[in-house]
């Protein structure tokens, strides 16, 4: 419980999977546990931050498309573009 | 006396002999094509040979149109037809009525044998199949860099989910294809991707053959990363498909298996939002219920502290938004401070002043910001309604009274109150001093 209290989650460095998994846990916790207002607000805030983080990843992240090859000098990665 | 024949008569007799001999008609000739030539007439002339002999062959246009591949030199074939005499030249030739590539039967046999063997090892078992990640950061792809497969995967994943794509270009048919595919799978495993799609477009059994080769099947089995296969058309089943964690009928389907659709994820996020809002109001409802009971700890001082504290929390929540909203929150705080002094009219005036202040602020901010503010405003009006519920005076309005002992502290129990001592009873519009004349403690 006390350990719960001090978790201030570092949303920015979480992967999408971590974020949405944690978000789901928090929502369930809010729904199921008999929390006081302070605790609820704290969790609610974290949930808002996580949801925003998830949305940001989906909306704003630029994906990389690369190819990878083994060459005499080791692995070589480069941007991949389809030939028209 | 010996017969005397012209050349034409002789060759014609041979021709008749050929056509009357069952063993020279309706037969399959197995060999390899050489000197293949197709004339503008559409007829094809070539030689069928094996290691120690050869025969000239003709395939007329009508027969050519019935086969579904292009015969060419050094192709191993089985030709169906009959032997015929070309009377004018005195040479015989094989008239091809139909033709198929040979070796296909062998391939089927090989396929069945290997399938049986690997099946017996348990490589195709359902319980070997691993779940695919739902939100891969990087999708590895082993296929030709120029085919439709990579194209379909790129366009589909782009639409669905922003995962990175890492392509290990591979040769997907012909000599060396199997090794090239195996290398690709290993390479992607070594750099760490979350899921691998391996595949190629449609083609003949021979074209797809690399995906029926043992090293490819074993590389899929050995992959630490889950593998989705997409080989050929929906109706093609290669051994690679049996070994993969998931078989996709098309490259587009493979991409759909690899990621979730973000539209669906957004719906889920929205559902989380609705649920957490609901859960939070349930908490405040519970709080309200507690405050509404006479047993509530109705110390106005503590309640005020609590309100101040909640105000701070709201400040924190708003900090990221705009200072305009902050001023509204501090307005809320001063409103509660005013409440302690009970100037109700002034309180109402203050609230409405704050409201119009923030309303005019809203008209000045740009529309984008306004949307944010409206959302925030909505949230805060919820919070402020909840804060209202916490306000002890709203309880007094409903006919409850607040009792303070001789020391001015809230009294929640008859214990410690002696007959003859004085208490202060606070009501909505004033307070009274009262003497205790009787006392009875309820025992549950």
Question: Would the pLDDT of B368 be above 60?
Answer: no
Residue B192 zone, left/alpha/beta (φ > 0; ψ -120 to 50; rest): left
Q: Determine the pLDDT at residue B320.
A: 40
d(C-alpha B82, C-alpha B94), whole Å: 6
As a whole number of angstroms, the distance between CA B231 and CA A73 comes to 32
Q: What is the pLDDT of residue B204?
A: 82
Interfacial A residues in 41-70 facing B (CB < 8 Å): 41, 43-45, 47, 51, 54-55, 57-58, 61-70
* Nearest alpha carbon to residue B423 among B408, B442, B439, B401: B408
For the question of whether the overall pTM of this predicted structure is more than 0.95, the answer is no
Asked if A36 is an interface residue toward chain B (Cβ–Cβ < 8 A), one would say: yes
Q: Is A73 exposed, middle or buried (0-12, 13-18, 19+ CB in 10 A)?
A: exposed
* Distance from the B282 Cα atom to the nearest Cα atom in chain A, whole angstroms: 8
Contacts of A52 in chain B (CB under 8 A): none
Question: Looking at the complex, does the CB of residue B317 fall below 8 Å from at least one CB of chain A?
Answer: yes
**H or E, element range at A55:** helix A37-60
Residue B326 confidence (pLDDT) above 50: no
Is residue A14 within 8 angstroms of chain B, CB to CB? no
pLDDT band at B27 (very low <50, low <70, confident <90, very high): very high
- Residue B415's nearest CA partner among B427, B430, B405 is B405
pLDDT band at residue B381 using 50, 70 and 90 as cut-offs? low
The answer to whether the CB of B389 falls within 8 A of the CB of B291 is: yes
pLDDT at position B291:
54
Residues B211, B217: Cα–Cα separation, whole Å: 7
B336 pLDDT band, cuts 50/70/90, is very low
Lowest mean pLDDT of B37-46, B116-125, B270-279, name the range.
Answer: B270-279
In chain B, domain spans: 7-104, 109-124+133-260, 299-390, 396-435
| Burial class (CB within 10 angstroms; exposed 0-12, middle 13-18, buried 19+) of B62 | exposed
| Binary contact (B145, A30; C-beta < 8 A) | no
**Is the model's pLDDT at A48 over the cut of 70?**
yes
Please report, for chain A, the start and end positions of each structural domain, with discontinuous segments joined by +.
Answer: 14-82
Q: The tokens of B143 are what? A: 């296929």
Beta bridge partners of A71: A74
Q: Which of A35-39, B90-94, B179-183, B303-307 has the lowest mean pLDDT?
A: B303-307
The answer, yes or no, to whether residue B394 has pLDDT greater than 70, is: no
Partners of A47 on chain B (C-beta within 8 Å) are: 272, 276
Residues B113-127 as b or e (16 or more Cβ within 10 Å = b): eebeebeeeebbeee
All residues of chain A having their beta carbon less than 8 Å from the beta carbon of residue B284 are 37
Tell me if chain B has a CB within 8 Å of the CB of A35.
yes
Residues in A closer than 8 angstroms to B313, CB to CB, are 38, 41
- On whether the CB atoms of residues B393 and B296 are closer than 8 A, the answer is no
Q: May I ask the CATH architecture of the domain B109-124+133-260?
A: 3-Layer(aba) Sandwich (3.40)
Q: Does B319 touch chain A (CB under 8 A)?
A: no
Strands B138-143 and B164-169: parallel
The per-residue pLDDT for B329 is: 44
Mean pLDDT confidence for B358-373: 47
**If you classify domain B7-104 with CATH, what class do you get?**
mainly beta
Q: Provide mean pLDDT across the span B52-56.
A: 95
pLDDT above 70 coverage of chain B, percent: 73
Under the banding of pLDDT at 50, 70 and 90, the label for residue A11 is confident
Task: Check CB contact under 8 Å for B135 and A45.
Answer: no
Contact of B18 with B92, CB cutoff 8 Å: yes
Q: Pairing mode, if any, of strands B402-404 and B164-169? A: unpaired
pLDDT at B395: 59
Mean pLDDT across chain B, nearest whole number?
A: 80
Q: Which residues of chain A have a CB within 8 Å of the CB of B169?
A: 67, 69
| For residues B61-90, average pLDDT | 90
Residue B58 forms beta bridges with which residues? Answer: B45, B95
Cα–Cα distance measured from residue B46 to residue B375, given in angstroms and rounded to the nearest whole number: 81
Q: In the prediction, which pLDDT does B385 show? A: 56
**With an 8 Å Cβ cutoff, are B310 and A37 in contact?**
yes
More confident site: B384 or B424: B424
Contacts of A58 in chain B (CB under 8 A): 161-162, 262, 265-266
Give the DSSP letter of residue B433.
E
Q: What percent of chain A has pLDDT over 90?
A: 35
User: Which of B154, B276, B313 has its CB closest to that of A47?
Assistant: B276
Q: Which residue has the higher pLDDT, B47 or B373?
A: B47
Q: Is B442 helix (H, G, I), strand (E, B) or coil?
A: coil
Q: B226 Cβ partners below 8 Å, 6+ apart? A: B130, B131, B132, B133, B195, B196, B245, B246
Q: Does B162 touch chain A (CB under 8 A)?
A: yes
On whether any CB of chain A is under 8 Å from the CB of B389, the answer is no
The whole-angstrom separation of Cα B81 and Cα B100 is 12
Strands B54-59 vs B44-49: parallel, antiparallel or unpaired: antiparallel
Sign of CA dihedral A40, A46, A52, A57: negative
The CA–CA distances, whole Å, from A27 to B244, B271, B412 equal: 36, 10, 36
Between B410 and B11, residue with greater pLDDT: B11
Residue A71, pLDDT score: 86
Please determine, for residue B54, whether its predicted confidence score (pLDDT) is greater than 90. yes
Task: Report the residue of chain A nearest B160, measured CA to CA.
Answer: A58
B89 has a pLDDT exceeding 70 = yes
Please compute the mean of the pLDDT values over residues B7-32 and round it to a whole number.
Answer: 94
Q: Which residues in A lie closer than 8 A to residue B269 (C-beta atoms)?
A: 20, 23, 51, 54-55
Q: Is the pLDDT of residue B390 over 60?
A: no
CA distances from B252 to A67, B201, B203, B220 (A): 19, 11, 17, 20
pLDDT at B173 over 50: yes
């Amino acid at each position: 419980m006390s350990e719960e209290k001090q978790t201030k989650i570092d949303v920015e460095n979480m992967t999408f999977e971590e974020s949405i998994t944690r978000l789901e846990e928090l929502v369930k916790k809010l729904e199921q546990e008999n929390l006081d207002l302070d605790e609820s607000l704290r969790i609610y805030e974290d949930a808002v931050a996580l949801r925003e983080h998830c949305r940001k990843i989906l909306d704003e992240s630029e994906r990389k498309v690369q190819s990878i090859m083994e060459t005499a000098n080791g692995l070589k990665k480069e941007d991949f573009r389809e030939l028209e | 006396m010996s017969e005397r024949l012209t050349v034409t008569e002789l060759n014609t007799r041979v021709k008749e002999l050929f056509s009357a001999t069952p063993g020279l008609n309706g037969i399959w000739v197995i060999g390899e094509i050489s000197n293949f030539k197709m004339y503008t007439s559409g007829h094809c002339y070539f030689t069928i040979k094996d290691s120690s002999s050869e025969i000239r062959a003709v395939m007329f246009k009508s027969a050519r149109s019935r086969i579904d591949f292009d015969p060419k030199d050094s192709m191993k074939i089985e030709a169906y037809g009959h032997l015929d005499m070309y009377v004018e030249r005195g040479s015989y030739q094989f008239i091809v009525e139909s033709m198929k590539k040979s070796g296909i039967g062998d391939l089927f046999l090989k396929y069945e044998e290997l399938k049986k063997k690997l099946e017996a090892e348990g490589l195709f078992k359902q319980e070997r199949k691993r779940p695919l990640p739902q939100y891969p950061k990087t999708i590895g792809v082993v296929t030709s860099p120029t085919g439709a497969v990579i194209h379909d995967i790129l366009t589909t994943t782009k639409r669905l989910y922003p995962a990175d794509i890492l392509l290990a270009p591979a040769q997907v048919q012909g000599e060396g294809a199997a090794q090239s595919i195996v290398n690709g799978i290993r390479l992607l495993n070594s750099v760490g991707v979350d899921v691998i799609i391996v595949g190629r477009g449609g083609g003949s059994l021979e074209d797809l053959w690399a995906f029926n080769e043992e090293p490819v099947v074993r590389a899929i089995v050995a992959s630490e990363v889950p593998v989705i296969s997409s080989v050929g058309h929906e109706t093609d089943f290669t051994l690679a498909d049996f070994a993969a964690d998931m078989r996709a009928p098309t490259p587009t389907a493979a991409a759909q298996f690899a990621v979730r659709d973000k539209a669906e994820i957004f719906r889920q996020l929205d559902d989380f939002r609705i649920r957490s809002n609901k859960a939070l109001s349930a908490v405040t409802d519970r709080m309200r219920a507690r405050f509404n009971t006479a047993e509530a700890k109705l110390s106005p001082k503590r309640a005020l502290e609590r309100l101040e504290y909640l105000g701070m929390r709201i400040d924190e929540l708003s900090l990221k938004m705009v200072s305009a909203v902050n001023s509204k929150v501090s307005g809320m705080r001063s409103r509660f401070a005013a409440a302690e002094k009970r100037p109700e009219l002034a309180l109402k005036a203050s609230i409405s002043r704050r409201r119009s202040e923030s309303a005019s602020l809203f008209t000045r901010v740009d529309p984008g910001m306004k949307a944010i503010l409206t959302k925030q405003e909505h949230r805060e009006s919820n919070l402020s309604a909840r804060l209202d519920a916490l306000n002890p005076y709203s309880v007094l309005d409903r006919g409850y009274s607040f009792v303070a002992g001789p020391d001015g502290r809230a009294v929640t129990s008859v214990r410690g109150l002696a007959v003859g001592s004085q208490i202060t009873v606070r009501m909505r519009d004033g307070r009274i001093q009262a003497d205790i004349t009787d006392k009875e403690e309820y025992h549950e």
